[in-house]
Amino acid sequence: ANLARLLMHGRTGGSGKLVILPVDQGFEHGPGRSFSVNPAAYDPHYHFELAIEAGLSALAAPLGLLTAGADRFAGALPLILKANNADNLSDDRDQAVTAGVRDALQLGCSAIGYTIYPGCDRQYEMFEEVREGIAEARDHGLAVVVWAYPRGRHLGKDDETALDVVAYGAQIAAQLGAHIIKVKPPSAVIAQAEARPAYEGMDLSGLATRVRHVMQAAFAGRRIVVFSGGPAKDVTALYDEIAAIRDGGGHGSIVGRNSFQRPFGEARDMLGRIIDIHLSQAGGQGP
């Protein structure tokens, strides 16, 4: 029922697509870096208003931000409690569990979300923490979102978005029991030497082909996969990327900085365009 709430809400409701606003960057990247370019975004209410006005599927954020908006916006749109977090002050590739299923239920959330860092030194502890959260969430009927972000000493920055690595992260998230998996758009790099033969002969030049492969890795499309927006970029480049995600069979987008680092009206209209692209036919209406 909670997964249905997410899938039926907003302008994408009933289409099988999702467009989500994630606002954990104040915690993950720091407040100045995240919000100073658009100071109105320091206010948690701003993000609720943006997500509601743009007709999004859900708002995903840590406990503090969701609590700060709950008094005014309770029930206005599905919420995803981002229940583990990292900060940028530490070099540790790890996430602390910052909230639980009980918090999600108190806030009326539809889902709980966790980041995993496959490839980092603490990955197995992270998998165990997330496994506990997922089991409890399922007991209480909450949907589960996993941010699958491979990183670690053995992966260079470019390797984190390599196609084989992103696909591997999506597979691990699916195996852990995620209903919805969040990944970064994959590049044409194949990082693991032992994975290269599997990709021989494939033309990986188009993002749509790479997205299709990530969907395969997420149980052949039986799990919902949404793609992140990354650092703020030119809208044309962003729309091209969203069209390729649609063409590759991706289920939607989860776009934070590209949304709230623009003025409200511009962000609302841009999110509207992202929804239009996801709702249009693959290969049809272009960006």
Catalytic site positions: 182
The reply on whether position 24 binds ligand FBP by CB under 6 A is yes
256 binds ligand FBP (CB under 6 A): yes
Q: Is 152 helix (H, G, I), strand (E, B) or coil?
A: strand
For ligand FBP, which is the closer residue by CB, 28 or 247? 28
- Identify which range of 94-102, 168-176, 201-209, 223-231 contacts ligand FBP by CB under 6 A: 223-231
Report the distance separating Cα 166 and Cα 161, nearest Å: 6
Which H, E and C letters describe 180-239, residue by residue? EEEECCCECCCCCHHHHHHHCCCCCCCHHHHHHHHHHHCCCCCCEEEEECCCCCCHHHHH
Residue 93 makes contact with ligand FBP by CB under 6 A? no
Segment near ligand FBP (CB under 6 A); pick from 20-28, 127-135, 207-215, 239-247: 20-28
Both tokens of 163, joined, read 């196609």
- Taking each helix axis from N to C terminus, what angle separates 235-247 and 264-279, rounded to the nearest 10 degrees? 20
Q: Collect all residues with Cβ–Cβ distance below 8 Å to 235 and sequence separation of at least 6.
A: 270, 273
Query: Which of 22, 62, 78, 118: binder of ligand FBP (CB under 6 A)?
Result: 22
In the complex, least distance from residue 19 CB atom to ligand FBP, rounded to whole angstroms: 12
Asked if 179 and 148 touch (Cβ cutoff 8 Å), the reply is no
Phi-psi region of 160 (alpha: psi -120 to 50; beta: other; left: phi over 0): alpha
**The binder of ligand FBP chosen from 149, 162, 183, 185 (CB under 6 A):** 149
Residue 5 or 257 having the CB closest to ligand FBP: 257
Which window, 161-169, 201-209, 222-230, 234-242, contacts ligand FBP (CB under 6 A)?
222-230
Q: Which residues bind ligand FBP (CB under 6 A)?
A: 22, 24-25, 28-29, 147, 149, 228-230, 254-258
